[in-house]
Amino acid sequence: MVQKVNKLKYQIRPRFEIEADMTMDELAEKLKKGLGQIDSPVKGQVHPTYASLRIPRKDQHYWSPQLSLTMDEFEKGCLIRGMYGPNPQVWTMFVFFYAIIAFAVMVIAIVGFSNRSLGNAAPILWLLPVLLLIFSSLYATSYFGQKKGEDQMHTLKDFFESSTGLSTRSDTD
């Protein structure tokens, strides 16, 4: 079994990749069996090539993560790619805000530097540091949100490892 692992540290949507010595059907059955236990700390859906694991609704908060797994056939078994991420609505909201900020920076830079090149005053350029501050605030918010969901991320990780018998740990863990 070969592993490429990004440890559970702060990064945007942490990921791991495992080459497992089992078929996709065996992996799917193990996940279904784990999800079917009465005391399972995780809920989710398992399909032949994809699985989505999440924290039960009663334990969820705004920053609760989910684990998306894709499974592909591999010569020796199954290639599993896992990605931890926030609820899709949260992720979409942040991408939307980042896109608005990027668009505003582009428009302000074009207008401001056009005015400067014509020899006119360009006070609009003072908005660029403000937008940088807003961007930094959004980034810090996402960082603290991921920290708030860290325990639940470990719950998802531990569930995956215990139900499949695979390890997402690297040698440096």
pLDDT score for 157: 93
pLDDT digits (tens, 9 = 90+) for 73-102: 988 889 999 999 888 889 899 999 999 999
pLDDT digits (tens, 9 = 90+) for 14-40: 888 998 899 899 999 999 999 999 889
* Residue-by-residue DSSP string for 100-158: HHHHHHHHHHHHHHHHHHTT---GGGGHHHHHHHHHHHHHHHHHHHHHHTHHHHHHHHH
pLDDT above 70 coverage of the chain, percent: 90
